[in-house]
Amino acid sequence: MPVIEASHDYTVNAESIWGLLVDFGNIEAWWPTSGPVRIARVELEGKGVGMVRHIFNEGMPAPVSERLDGLDEDSLTWQLSIVGERPAGLLQYQATGTLAPLPRGGCRMAYRGEFEAAPGREEEAREFLKGAYALMFDGLEQATRR
């Protein structure tokens, strides 16, 4: 299965970023409000690990539905999957994120996604995911400055 990895360094401590991420249903608190992908609304299904957030983005025909598969406060690690109708030719997707303190302060988010794409659409899926990661990093960065 193809893998995509990215990381981002923040000047705030890991707990500041963690606090935003563990409120899984409240992605609107940190997702960028301007840019190519804007959230119109979010609908929630369930609570805690196993919950699904259905993210309805402006101009997209179907929501991106993300299921929270795991949350480990001790290691500051979380996992999620895209379920239901998937964008950009994705057939399967699961991501793992980890926060770790940096020696001189701040923290690093490491993010790793494994995916399967429809034949001939792997590059489209990869570019979609890279764009989503960049938006996630940017949104979290902006949220920590408020």
35 pLDDT more than 80: no
Give the confidence band of 17 by pLDDT, cuts at 50, 70, 90. very high
Residue 36: the pLDDT is 80
Residue 51: the pLDDT is 98
Strands (E), the chain: 3-10, 39-45, 52-57, 64-72, 77-83, 90-101, 107-117
Stretch 49-73: mean pLDDT = 96
Question: Average pLDDT, whole number, for the chain?
Answer: 95
Structural domains of the chain sorted by starting position, each given as residue range(s) with its CATH number in brackets: 3-145 (3.30.530.20)
Residue 135: the pLDDT is 95
Residue 37: the pLDDT is 82
The total number of residues written for the chain in this structure: 146
